[in-house]
Amino acid sequence: MHLGESTRECEYSQISTRSSTPMETPYKKKTPKKRKWETFPGRNRFYCDGRIMMAKQTGVFYLTLVLILVTCGLFFTFDCWFLAEQLTPIIPVIGAVLFLFVIGTLLRTSFSDPGVLPRATPDEAADLERQIDVANGSTGYRPPPRTKEVVINGQTVKLKYCFTCKIFRPPRASHCSLCDNCVERFDHHCPWVGNCVGKRNYRFFYMFILSLSFLTVFIFAFVITHIILNSQRIGFLSALKDSPASVLEVVVCFFSVWSIVGLSGFHTYLISSNQTTNEDIKGSWSSKRSKDNYNPYSYGNIFTNCCAALCGPLPPSLIDRRGFIQSDAPQLAPPTNGLPMYGSTQSQQSHKVATTPLLQQQQSSEPVILSPENGASLPGRASLALGGPCTSLPLGQPTPPASTPSLSCHEATDLLPIHGHPHNHSHPLQEQLAHHHFLTPEEVPSPPGMLHCGSPLGHSHTMQGSFYNPASQDSLHEDSVRGLVKLSSV
């Protein structure tokens, strides 16, 4: 049959060319295979052919590096000779050891994978959507946003669904809006190290700030000693003139000591109680929330908590940056009519459409809900709790409400040229909008007034047909940005 053949041909070529995951290339590569980091969906930067992984903004990391290198360089050049002669040569040795340890742990923190969770494959995502819809039932009423409850050691923990990564986040995982990844045991995004701090690099981060505290105190103490000893011989002012670098070192160390030592102390407390910065700031396990609220992850005593965090086994990276992309993995529901990814079944189409109005609705109701929830409580606690370098982004949460509408508009236009995958067009945008509002899902009461979106199921077939049509992508994007969905925009 001619029709069957042509469909089969479409299918056959689609199997090899369509991306089954966002990580695969959209078009067939006849040239050498690509490594997976080259098509990584998050907003990370990779160096050394995927061996090094950092966040997108690395400016502050270079500042950190320069500060440490310059201060230590000045110390070794100007102060160490005097101290080695006058006191003992062990001082520069200890200084060197500390310095190397600091640099080593800093680089390890910055360059390693913090524990990024890879995004769900289309089959997994479809399976999850199916399960969720079965659980909710299709009553035409907007289903409540997706959470799952699980009881861990007697405490009820809510697992949230990540619209970007299409997974239910494991407990303690969080989505970093800067890096656009879900990270396991998410602590915070640290601009000073240019990376997220999560399960895999938390110990390196802690070792870094601890050793840096020792280093700053060490340099501070010995530079002061140098100046004092020198001024006993030749007077205070001439001592200062003799080594002007010392003045700079003292100034840098003085300001660093307060923040770094404070931060080390804070993280020591977190480690001993087995909490993340995220949880501490939100007060997830604080007894103020309810009388029988306790931390289900704590091992009970401080020693075990510390050992577990610092000396526990180091899990491997889940994202396989340097692996090669396999383009011919068997897929579950091959597309028809060139429609990619979510197959041709009616139920799956209706799932897709059902989620879209949900996303739009969230965006339109967002400004009302976000501000009281995190705006008021966040800044106060952040400055109180941290007071150090890592205050700027303690949470991997969406940017404050005020900036979101412009941000999403900006990203709407940004995403169009960047994501050249024709079939991926609508997804990143909607996911961007969606995950910026992931705080709202619990609060949004799904007003019955949004009934105009209540009948997408009826339009599912045509909707799916137009959904991936590149010609209507622009109008769809505009509409979704404005918070409307024209379901009949075929």
Q: Is 338 in the site for another protein (CB under 8 A)?
A: no
Selected binder of another protein within 143, 170, 262, 454 (CB under 8 A): 170
CB neighbours of 411 closer than 8 A, spacing ≥ 6?
A: 429, 432
Selected binder of another protein within 34, 108, 322, 459 (CB under 8 A): 108
Q: Is 364 in the site for another protein (CB under 8 A)?
A: no
| CA distance linking residue 273 with residue 276, whole number of Å | 9
Residues listed for the chain: 490
Residue nearer to another protein on the CB measure, 378 or 457: 457
Q: Is 319 in the site for another protein (CB under 8 A)?
A: yes
Q: Is 94 in the site for another protein (CB under 8 A)?
A: no
CA 12 vs CA 20, 133, 343: distances in Å? 14, 31, 14
Q: Is 313 in the site for another protein (CB under 8 A)?
A: yes
Q: Is 4 in the site for another protein (CB under 8 A)?
A: yes
Nearest distance in Å: CB 315, another protein = 6
Contact region for another protein (CB under 8 A) — 187-195, 233-241, 278-286, 318-326? 318-326
Per-position x/- string for 146-165, each x denoting binding to another protein as judged by CB under 8 A, each - no binding: ----xxxx---x-x------
| CA distance linking residue 128 with residue 167, whole number of Å | 8
CB neighbours of 59 closer than 8 A, spacing ≥ 6?
A: none
With both helix axes pointing from N to C terminus, report the angle between 202-234 and 302-311 in degrees, rounded to the nearest 10: 100
Alpha-carbon torsion 203, 206, 208, 211, what sign? negative
Selecting among 80, 176, 182, 190, the annotated active-site residue is: 190
Per-position x/- string for 365-404, each x denoting binding to another protein as judged by CB under 8 A, each - no binding: ----------------------------------------
Grouping H, G, I as helix, E, B as strand and the rest as coil, residue 183 is: strand
Residue nearer to another protein on the CB measure, 115 or 191: 115
Q: Is 332 in the site for another protein (CB under 8 A)?
A: yes
Grouping H, G, I as helix, E, B as strand and the rest as coil, residue 201 is: coil
Kindly determine how many residues on this chain lie close enough to bind another protein according to the rule CB under 8 A: 66
Residue nearer to another protein on the CB measure, 131 or 399: 131
Residue nearer to another protein on the CB measure, 169 or 189: 169
Q: Is 296 in the site for another protein (CB under 8 A)?
A: yes
Of 177, 174, 172, 212, nearest to 192 (Cα)? 212
Residue nearer to another protein on the CB measure, 347 or 473: 347
Residue for token pair 């929830």: 373
Q: Is 49 in the site for another protein (CB under 8 A)?
A: no
Q: Check residue 341 and report its DSSP letter.
A: S
CB neighbours of 301 closer than 8 A, spacing ≥ 6?
A: none
How distant is the alpha carbon of residue 116 from its chain centre? 8
| CA distance linking residue 230 with residue 234, whole number of Å | 6
| CA distance linking residue 183 with residue 190, whole number of Å | 13
- Burial of 267 (C-beta count, 10 Å sphere; 0-12/13-18/19+): buried
Nearest distance in Å: CB 330, another protein = 4
Q: Is 9 in the site for another protein (CB under 8 A)?
A: yes
Q: Is 123 in the site for another protein (CB under 8 A)?
A: yes
Taking only Cα atoms into account, the Rg of the chain, rounded to an integer number of angstroms, comes to 27
Selected binder of another protein within 314, 402, 418, 490 (CB under 8 A): 314
Q: Is 133 in the site for another protein (CB under 8 A)?
A: no
Residue nearer to another protein on the CB measure, 366 or 431: 431
Furthest-apart CA pair in the chain: how many Å? 102
Told to judge if 182 belongs to the known catalytic residues of this protein, a careful annotator would answer no
Q: Check residue 324 and report its DSSP letter.
A: B
Q: Is 84 in the site for another protein (CB under 8 A)?
A: no
The tokens describing 139, both together, are 């009553």
The tokens describing 20, both together, are 């089954």
Positions marked catalytic: 190
Q: Which residues bind another protein (CB under 8 A)?
A: 1, 4-5, 7-9, 11-12, 15, 100-101, 104-105, 108, 117-118, 120-121, 123-124, 127-128, 130, 150-153, 157, 159, 167-168, 170-172, 184-185, 203-204, 207, 296-297, 304, 307-308, 310-316, 318-320, 328, 330-334, 336, 343-345, 347-348
